Structure 1
Amino acid sequence: MKKKTGLVFFPAFDYAITPTHPEREERLLYTQDQVVEEGLLDFDNIREYKPDLATPADINRVHFCVPNIDEIVHTSHLISVGGTLTAADKVMTGEVDNAFALVRPCGHHSMRVVHGSRGFCTLNMEAIMIEYIRHKYGVKRIAVVDTDCHHGDGSQDIFWHDPNTLFISMHQDGRTLYPGSGFPDEAGGPNAYGTIVNLPMPPETCEEGFLYTLDNIVMPILDDFKPELIINSAGQDNHYSDPITNMKFTAQGYAILNDRLKPDLAVLEGGYSIESALPYINTGIILAMAGLDYSHIKEPDYDPRNQVQSPHITNYLKQLKDYSLENWKNREALKRKAYPNQPFHRRNRSIFYDTDYIRETQTETVRTCPDCGGTVVIDSQADTGRHSHIKAVAIPRYACDACRKWGEQQFEQGKKEGYAQVFLQDKDKDLYLVDE
């Protein structure tokens, strides 16, 4: 059945990490050419929109930018994020049935605290879009399915304590690829345990394996969670021709995945086979989202003999299915085992910003709460100097009175503790304060 599909393009002509870096404007220019050549914009149910500009308020609902947004973020980031917000508006107002934001730079490696760029990412587009939707339209229960080859560790970090966001990541096993995370036992914090679902797949997984994982793990969990919106964090570097990964997915497979997943919103993430894969993948995704025939989508070098999956991969994915569904079914019991009954839980982390060569040490404390996601307090310092030592207090959306009170106390206390900056982020009040 045909659907009205919105497209938002932003190639970011003036932004590249280096002139030859894989994350550069050509990633989208070839796709734009393909979309025009195939006549997709001539269909009456496919509409193109121009991106809006994200505001500091949009960013501040999710991130703590150190020392501030102006020193961390480029205009291209604001337009890229703004493109996702445009897509969200078109879907939420009913102008289209679904929308695909084909924008760059990408974002799913960007965590809650931002000292710089990591994994080519500075702002987490999907997380900012989700909080924008909640703030403007009141949608509560949202699922993100991340199909990028690299684990979405930034999205995982942001949603770690959010019981109303289900984050499912399908990615190449972290033992073989950056960022080295995304294992099944990474399942979320004490107030949101089980809403993080990691599905690491072996290198050389073919179309058969991806669709098996989708049909037998992702879709049953989504059906049980019953989200009001589904977002595809649509990385495309699982393709067999991608130069920096080791998977064997196909353009036809991406189209089938989106046809079955039926996301309300899709956001482009990675994908670095600029000529051989991206134009075909994106064309397939657009056709699938629009309810049009995508059966002819095929790469010029496609060879079905390369899509014969090793039996050991098939067996592994069957075991992953059993393990993941059992964990989902028993998540309450597993939570009690993972998080003993105590008022606060703490985790210490060392985070490397591989794009900007920054090292951050972080201590995160969350208040255990049966009524909301729990207020989070972060002590963070990067090796960029003493002015990078900050305290950040995040009062969650739908916060209970006890978590709100503790968060406000922590902010006031932080002003006396000698930090370079103390932040307060209150999503319910749409409030963001900085004490310097």
Structure 2
Amino acid sequence: MNNKSLGLVFFPAFDWAITPSHPEREERLLYTRDQIVEEGLLDLPNIREYRPKLAKIQDAQRVHIGVPDIASLITDAHLVSAGGAITAAEAVMRREVTNAFALVRPPGHHAMRVVQGTRGFCTINIEAIMVEYLRQHYGLNRIAIVDTDVHHGDGTQDIFYHDPDTLFISFHQDGRTLYPGTGAITELGSPSALCSTINIPLPPGTTDDGLHYVLDNLVLPVLEDFQPDIIINSAGQDNHYSDPLANMAITAQGYARLAEKLNADIAVLEGGYSIEDALPYVNTGIILAMAGLDYSRVVEPDIARCPRQSAANTRYIAQLVTNWQDIWRQRDQLRREAVAQAGDFWQRRRSIYYDDSGIQERQHETVRICPHCRGYQTVATEAEGHPFGVKTAFAAIIPRNSCRTCRSQALDTVHKAKQEGHYDYCILQDKEQDTLEQV
């Protein structure tokens, strides 16, 4: 292995917790840091630690539409977590390090574009905020996000579902068996971005063998075809065989080999709730792999209890990969057909539950299919169980490089919604101007 320079950012968020005994608590990172210090990793010349910066509200608003607003829904801990990811990204972009790993909390990949509260332990989407920061400040375009958390990254998928320049790949325990219940292979992206979303729902009991079969035969070839400017790993670690919230069977060695093969520019911690039995070993393995160091001796003391993969699972995973290979080969044709079938507008209605906040949201989303640009999007949303009462909002989103017609139509829709007076809030998110405002 070749040594690489690795940046590390730690933020355990001592002052943020859902409840004191909640699985998502500060000990998730404290045990890991103790292990890293004990192993002397921070003393190695090619590993450099950075202090997280504080993200700005504007950084969050570049991604999210908060109801009533983002500032009232988050704490400073969320801004430091997002700022930690930005710190890691900037260290890579400035070529101070080869790659970087942000071990931060609170996590973010269940936070969608519209935010009414906290769901899946997430309020704002850390990786998405980092991605849009990189686009705004460094001009990056084609970005790949590989989500290796055991839970489907439904928030990240939602934010980039209409963006053909963001490849979102998620392999996760099948949503029919685990929260949040999404992430089917049929969730491909809206017509103009079809096949930019790749979901790989794996059966419970998938081991290192199954995960690396997917990686070698699907994920790495797709990344090679996509040719991203940068690769980001949403590095959830709850696929581990000891994790209390899921049913997978990945080991620290499996994670370390994943990190080595994926060769992500930036990794950002997501889930992982086996605080003592998994996280110190998994994170140590990932850090060593990202630094190009030998990780072969990183082994859990109870490794013998990790189950073997069944023959049925092996066959299922092979067929799943074959199905995706067929879809990927036909992606251009499938996208053209989807655009033609959609006509001028593509629409969907959804019901979204905020399990941590007890909020039930209903959304009606519309995307303008434009032959000259990426169109624009509108979202009409209504939420019950909100701490501020029943709240309704209408938002128009103008992507970068929108044509004059789409920009004008987006402005017209939000001003019309304001005049009709049916919504508590009417919001314009303009990515070209880097602004978010209530109309």
Query: Structure 1 330/351 Cα, relative in aligned 2: closer, same or farther at 3 Å?
Result: same
Give, in whole Å, the separation in 1 of the partners of 2:90 and 2:109: 21
Which sits farther off after the overlay, 382-391 or 309-318?
A: 382-391
CA contact (8 A) 2:241 2:306 kept: no
Q: State the SS of the aligned residue for 1:41.
A: helix
Tell me which residue corresponds to 1:6. Answer: 7
Matches within 5 A, 1:32-431: 32-303=33-304, 306-338=306-338, 340-383=341-384, 384=386, 388-418=391-421, 419-431=423-435
Contact 1:192 1:373 in 2 (8 A): no
Deviation at 1:74, TM superposition (A): 1.0
Q: TM-score, normalised by structure 2?
A: 0.97
Q: Is the 8 A contact 1:148 1:237 kept in 2?
A: yes
Cα distance in 1 for residues equivalent to 2:333 and 2:165: 19
Q: Structure 2 regions of 5+ residues with no counterpart?
A: none
Deviation at 1:215? Answer: 0.6
Tell me if the contact between 1:156 and 1:196 (Cα under 8 Å) persists in the aligned partners.
yes
Change (3 A) 1:124 1:191: same
SS at match of 1:191: helix
**TM-align CA RMSD:** 1.2
Q: Distance in 2 between matches of 1:126 and 1:416?
A: 35
Q: In 2, Cα distance between the equivalents of 1:372 and 1:182? A: 27
Report deviation, 1:410.
Answer: 1.7
Opposite residue 56 of structure 1, the aligned amino acid is: I
Question: 1:56-91: per-residue Cα shift (whole Å, max 9, x none)?
Answer: 110111000111123200111011011001111111
Does structure 2 retain, via aligned residues, the 8 Å contact 1:191–1:374? no
Task: Give the conservation status (yes or no) of the 8 Å contact 2:394–2:426.
Answer: yes
Which range moves more in the overlay, 238-247 or 405-414?
A: 405-414
Which residue is equivalent to 2:16? Answer: 15
Structure 1 position 431, deviation (Å): 1.5
**CA distance, structure 2, for counterparts of residue 123 and residue 373 of structure 1:** 24
Q: Name the CA distance, whole Å, in 1 between partners of 2:424 and 2:338.
A: 34
- Counterpart Cα distance in 2 of 1:211 and 1:265: 20
Q: Which amino acid aligns with 2:335?
A: K
Contact 1:161/1:374, CA 8 A, preserved across alignment: no
Detail structure 1 runs of 4+ shifted over 6 Å in the superposition.
none
Q: What do the CA deviations read for 1:253-301 (whole angstroms, capped 9, x no partner)?
A: 1000010000000000000000000011001111111101111111111
For 2:301 and 2:373, the matched residues in 1 are separated by 51
Provide the identity percentage. 58
Check conservation: 1:30, 1:279, Cα contact below 8 A: yes
- TM-superposition CA deviations, 1:19-68 (whole Å, max 9, x none): 10000000000001011000001111100001001101101110001111
Q: Output the CA distance in 1 between the equivalents of 2:409 and 2:289.
A: 47
CA drift of 1:386 comes to 6.2
- Does the 8 A contact of 1:5 with 1:97 survive in 2? yes
Which residue type is aligned with residue 422 of structure 1? C
Amino acid paired to 1:401: R
Query: Displacement, 1:371?
Result: 3.9
Q: Deviations over 1:293-318 (max 9, x none)?
A: 11111111112x74521111111111
CA distance in 2, matches of 1:396, 1:190: 16
Tell me how far apart the structure 2 counterparts of residues 373 and 22 of structure 1 sit (CA, whole Å). 40
CA contact under 8 A between 1:207 and 1:307: conserved in structure 2? no
Mind listing any 5+ residue stretches in structure 1 that lack a counterpart? none
State the Cα distance separating 1:338 from its structure 2 match.
Answer: 4.3
Q: Look up the equivalent residue of 2:427 and give its one-letter code.
A: F
* Aligned-pair CA distance for 1:432: 1.3
Give the deviation of 1:181 after TM superposition. 0.6
**Is residue 145–residue 168 contact of structure 2 (8 Å, CA) maintained in 1?**
yes
CA distances 1:135-180 after superposition (whole Å, capped 9, x unpaired)? 0000000000000000000011001001100000010000000000
SS class of match (1:288): helix
